Amino acid sequence: MKILILPDPAAAVARCVEIIAQTLNEKPQAVLGLATGGTMEPVYARLVERARAGEIALDRMTSFNLDEYVGLPPEHSQSYHSYMRDRLFGPLGLDPSRTHLPRGDAPDPAAEAARFDAAIAQAGGIDLQLLGIGGNGHIGFNEPSSSLASPTRVKTLTLATREANARFFGPEETVPRFAITMGIATILRSRHAVLLATGTKKATAVAAMAEGPLSARCPASALQLHPRATIVLDADAAADLELRQYYETVHPQGQEVALG
Ligand code: F6R
């Protein structure tokens, strides 16, 4: 795992965007795995800014999102389809046929999950998978106890996750109980996994992910098995890392250092 610690959330977001930009510069037709949630909002805002400034081009990429709530149609305001349309796909006018999310309103969610994994394989696999992390260590919606070999499937959300995400829903609305999520095996097949975490609320989960045992108790710990995982943190999210000083020596200010 490459652990990059930046001084504040803005610097962590900028570093994450830089990694995405580098991937797209090297391979404009890259397949990106995308995440939603509060952590990713500034990432998409910055990507839109940089694309509008002509510094980065997203129009040739293909994308697959990690997850979608079961029961929400794409046009529902809290669906992840809407999240992506509002923050990235719409502002950049991306071709909808290149952007993929599981259909939350599919009549057979299990079949939809299997179709989604097959579509990723058909596209040649994911070049760069963007990830956030839940306070309980989930990635995608792989909640604690998820098989570390899981394919894309339907998962029941924990109460903690539903409470954390209630902030995005109106007072009269309830957070769905189920989601279709890329599995841990799907995430591990990506050629590069980039996880961004900011804020003290993520510090415990980040330490368990990077320094705890490989365990379904903290699904993000599966990234210890990923051949190329980059973890981008701000100082608050890095606060509980025992080996922090070492990571900061290897990558001062979260930057690459030339060998020699
Ligand atoms: C979102 C997703 C989740 C979030 C995680 C953190 O597509 O898969 O794993 O990345 O719940 O969410 P925030 O960023 O809102 O704290």
Q: Encode the chain (260 residues) as per-residue pLDDT tens digits.
A: 999 999 999 999 999 999 999 999 999 999 999 999 999 999 999 999 999 999 999 999 999 999 999 999 999 999 999 999 999 999 999 999 999 999 999 999 999 999 999 999 999 999 999 999 999 999 999 999 999 999 999 999 999 999 999 999 998 899 999 999 999 999 999 999 999 999 999 999 999 999 999 999 999 999 999 999 999 999 999 999 999 999 999 999 999 998 87
Closest residue by Cα to atom 11, ligand 1, is 134
The catalytic residue positions are 67, 136, 138, 143
Whether ligand 1 lies within 6 angstroms of the CB of 109 is answered as no
> CB of 182 closer than 6 A to ligand 1?
no
Residue 193 CA to ligand 1 centre (angstroms): 15
Tell me the pLDDT tens digit for each residue of 246-258: 999 999 999 999 8
Q: How far is the CA of 47 from the centre of ligand 1 (A)?
A: 18
Assess whether the C-beta atom of 234 lies below 6 angstroms from ligand 1.
Answer: no
pLDDT tens-digit series, residues 170-181: 988 999 999 999
Position in ligand 1 atom list of the atom nearest CA 67: 7
Give residue 232's pLDDT: 98
Distance 21 CA to ligand 1 centre (A): 21
Strand order in the sheet with 2-6: 2-6, 229-234, 193-197, 128-131, 31-34, 62-65, 99-100
Closest CA to 232 of 129, 128, 132, 88: 132
Query: pLDDT at position 131, please?
Result: 99
pLDDT value for 260: 75
Spatial distance between the Cα atoms of 53 and 103, rounded to a whole number of angstroms: 32
Spatial CB neighbours of 172, under 8 Å, sequence gap ≥ 6: none
Q: How many residues does the chain have?
A: 260
Residue 180 makes CB contacts below 8 A (sequence gap 6+) with 67, 68, 70, 102, 104, 106, 109, 112, 113, 116, 152, 153, 154, 155
> From atom 8 of ligand 1, which residue's Cα is the shortest distance away?
140
Residue 33 near ligand 1, beta carbon < 6 Å: no
E strand or H helix at 26, and its extent? helix 9-26
In DSSP terms, which residues pair with 67 in a beta bridge? 181
Q: Point out the ligand 1 atom lying closest to the alpha carbon of residue 165.
A: 15
